[in-house]
């Protein structure tokens, strides 16, 4: 049976000791899906994905990158990591939902799943902030890890 790694024998919060782990290339990809009202989607598409606050998706990509680099400041017990690559992609899918994907890569002793999830989450919150003047009918409906590699085991959603 698995145990929670961030709890010590006395039941106290504990940062995991990764000093004995092998240094490997670690990657993670996360995805967030947002549903905006039809009027917001129409307005964004007709205005080149811009609002009075600026370019929505480009601003969210920058915010997501910044969040990836600051994950250890936001999530207790996360290790500060030397990120090698971070990329975010934001598009509409065929249902006019906003799909945000964040890919993170580094060489180290612990994974980058939390960084990818944080990047997607902050990018989604940035989209929300930039379009809320049109409507608060916004749903951040799903944030999940899609895949990770490196370390003890790999993961692919749905497998």
Candidates 22, 129, 137, 154; catalytic one: 129
Task: State phi, psi for 39 to the nearest 5 degrees.
Answer: -65, -35
**Rounded Cα gap, residues 130 and 134, in angstroms:** 9
129: left (phi over 0), alpha (psi -120 to 50) or beta: alpha
DSSP-based helix, strand, coil % in the chain, nearest 5: 30, 35, 40
Beta carbons within 10 angstroms of residue 62's beta carbon: 14
* 1 CB burial (10 A radius; 0-12, 13-18, 19+): exposed
129 classed as catalytic: yes
Can you tell me whether residue 89 is helix, strand or coil?
strand
Q: Which residues are catalytic?
A: 129
């Amino acid at each position: 049976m698995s145990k929670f790694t961030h709890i010590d024998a006395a039941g106290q919060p504990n940062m995991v000791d990764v000093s004995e782990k092998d240094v490997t290339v670690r990657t993670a990809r996360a995805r967030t899906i947002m549903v905006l009202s039809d009027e917001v989607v129409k307005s964004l598409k007709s205005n080149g994905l811009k609002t009075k606050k600026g370019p929505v998706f480009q601003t969210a990509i920058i915010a997501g990158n910044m969040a990836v680099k600051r994950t250890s400041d936001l999530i207790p017990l996360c290790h500060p990591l030397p990120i090698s690559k971070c990329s975010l992609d934001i598009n509409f899918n065929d249902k006019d939902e906003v799909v945000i994907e964040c890919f993170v890569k580094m060489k180290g002793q612990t994974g980058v799943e939390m960084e990818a999830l944080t990047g997607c989450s902050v990018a989604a919150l940035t989209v929300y902030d930039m379009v809320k003047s049109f409507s608060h009918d916004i749903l951040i409906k799903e944030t999940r890890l899609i895949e990770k590699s490196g370390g003890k085991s790999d993961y692919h959603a749905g497998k």
